Structure 1
């Protein structure tokens, strides 16, 4: 019998975890391979379930106004608590910069491998925020953001990543991007976003009973609303579609991070006069959101191009395909790959006319849409479930940390 592996895992997301690439991948899949996790981080989510795959050490709260400054100290306390349960086989840090350096130092002291998990280019996100502020006024606030961006770039690319025995990244595009910056591709494993096959089984989803959908050609966007994600592009598409498909209804099933963002979206809908063709649901329980999804004829996944999103792995396209929804996605690399491999959707640039034309094609060509609907679930089952991704991650750990018999 192999000795189980134990990972001390510092995460950026609030605990208890809600994201599937932590909750499902590490909470459900990794234990199947004898990999147990001591989660370390800050509280802040509405989840309340105990961590099923090891231990959870919450120190501090992301709702604190001092969280950005204190989180490395909180993570150190969490690591010390996790250490009481025994020496981990590795220390892994996800998307944290100062705590990434802390994790590298702790791993060196304990003489265990240090692993970094990059799901988002945090430094580049800081630089985008710096530039947004600088475009308005270069005052003290801009200087603070510029300093944060510069210090973060030095720490992550000069001190943290060079000391990682291995890096898990969000996509093949992210691996290529880091390779171009001088990091060894052999030290990276791409783990794109996947789905829980049981949860996204169409046969288990009850269609929502909403009279507003009756007699309408429903197209769907399932996800967050944000100006940074150019969510008003969905309204551009709706304006194009209603000219030729007068009974079209765009269902935007999701919420925004703030009430200001939702107010902005509602104002845009009113300004454009597309209220009859757009249903903005706001926050929904997941099963209800999926109930809207299975009422849709086409799923939409437009993601802005640029440094931040080109290396991402959007979940919504894979969710649509798992549910058998023919989809239109734009041309960020991971979406291009999924569309090409699955043959279950169309790829179009994030421009209103060609994107709307692709949606219109699926609404008009029911035979093509039906063929796409059949291909999607089969592709996801063979490529993008967390059971499959879990096997890839577990095999990587066994190479990084050979087990003792």
Structure 2
């Protein structure tokens, strides 16, 4: 049952919220958390950002949505701060001064948001779901390793400049002015604290799931003959070279040695056609066409239909600053659906596995992943017990009604102090 709303303030709180993701929002930590849960506690949002996803941009149940520009535009990287400024102006045009200005995962717009908050004399709040600057640094280093010649050096210089400027802006100008910082994991909070930011000014909000959407009883298994009589292992999510998604194929090569009828279902898309073609080439080069089903983009209902046909769910996130500070959704989704998980040892995944007792946590090594997966495939009773523990854990710890209660309480404390 959803938790009861906390005692609300005499008047609702209003947040002018600049987001990095395309609007209308599709991520649950924006759509569900702010669109469904926050209004229950008297916290309303005026979303500001760029278009880029399907849906009705006027239908935002929690306040208003102000879409200026498009992330599909080739000028998006340069124009987004200006577009956000226009969107913020429109949000303020509704006549009520917000109780805070909040920016999520944007750097230049983060600085604009801090300035706007100062001019409005309201608190500035930053929401960090991903260490953007470190992502830029990884991209810079990747170019240095893989591209040569004048063009490669110019690209490296451009990315190096972007990483440097972003680092100065976010850590010296944006975060120091934030009354509060929401982060995605305790590991991210500890990492920021090591940079000198007060741990007391941070709240970790890990990824969760919408309990209604991930209720196995409501999911209809997909009818796909390719899964019949196979030992189905699942990866639910996007693939990309930066995520080292070919690791899934390394695991499959190990699995088929001991389990010739194994089938890895990769239920998800890639960020570009180039990335999807890269994955197809990798599958073909390893002669895994009979052992890997790459579905591409699927409607959520269909993707979950594939998920409940699987016996084990895989979650592999490369270690490092990026991976170690993240709170991936995959493990939580598997557990919510009653699917035992095999995950690697980034802090948040390890925490979920240890607390839930609904999976196995191993290093991100192909043989270790394959051995753990085979352990569950060969021990149906243990896999069944894991599957039974998952939904109960998620309902107690990682649904958005639970996470929303904590976030709303934080807003009440921070904005009314």
The reply to whether TM is greater than 0.5 is: yes
How far the C-alpha of 1:47 sits from its partner, in A, is 2.3
Report how many residues are paired: 403
How far the C-alpha of 1:143 sits from its partner, in A, is 1.3
Contact kept, 8 Å, 1:18 with 1:47, in 2: the verdict is no
The counterpart of 2:64, out of the listed 43, 55, 66, is: 55
How far the C-alpha of 1:9 sits from its partner, in A, is 0.1
Aligned mates of 1:401, 1:140 — CA distance in 2: 45
What TM-score comes out, normalization by structure 2 length?
Answer: 0.95
SS of corresponding position for 2:290: helix
Query: What's 2:210 paired with?
Result: 196
The counterpart of 1:119, out of the listed 120, 123, 129, is: 129
Q: Describe how 1:142-161 pairs up with structure 2 within 5 A.
A: 142-161=156-175
Query: What's 1:163 paired with?
Result: 177
Aligned mates of 1:147, 1:213 — CA distance in 2: 49
What TM-score comes out, normalization by structure 1 length?
Answer: 0.98
The counterpart of 1:66, out of the listed 75, 82, 96, is: 75
How far the C-alpha of 1:139 sits from its partner, in A, is 2.1
Aligned mates of 1:166, 1:237 — CA distance in 2: 41
Q: Which runs of 5+ in 1 are unaligned?
A: none
How far the C-alpha of 1:393 sits from its partner, in A, is 0.3
Aligned mates of 2:283, 2:79 — CA distance in 1: 40
Q: CA RMSD, aligned part only?
A: 1.0
- Bigger drift between 338-347 and 254-263 goes to 254-263
How far the C-alpha of 1:134 sits from its partner, in A, is 2.0
SS of corresponding position for 2:66: strand
Q: Describe how 1:1-400 pairs up with structure 2 within 5 A.
A: 2-48=10-56, 50-85=59-94, 86-135=96-145, 136-137=147-148, 139-400=153-414
Aligned mates of 1:133, 1:370 — CA distance in 2: 45
Aligned mates of 1:312, 1:258 — CA distance in 2: 22
Contact kept, 8 Å, 1:194 with 1:384, in 2: the verdict is yes
Aligned mates of 1:133, 1:306 — CA distance in 2: 18
Aligned mates of 1:63, 1:271 — CA distance in 2: 32
How far the C-alpha of 1:102 sits from its partner, in A, is 0.5
Aligned mates of 1:134, 1:373 — CA distance in 2: 44
SS of corresponding position for 1:275: coil
Aligned mates of 1:261, 1:156 — CA distance in 2: 30
How far the C-alpha of 1:367 sits from its partner, in A, is 1.1
How far the C-alpha of 1:141 sits from its partner, in A, is 1.9
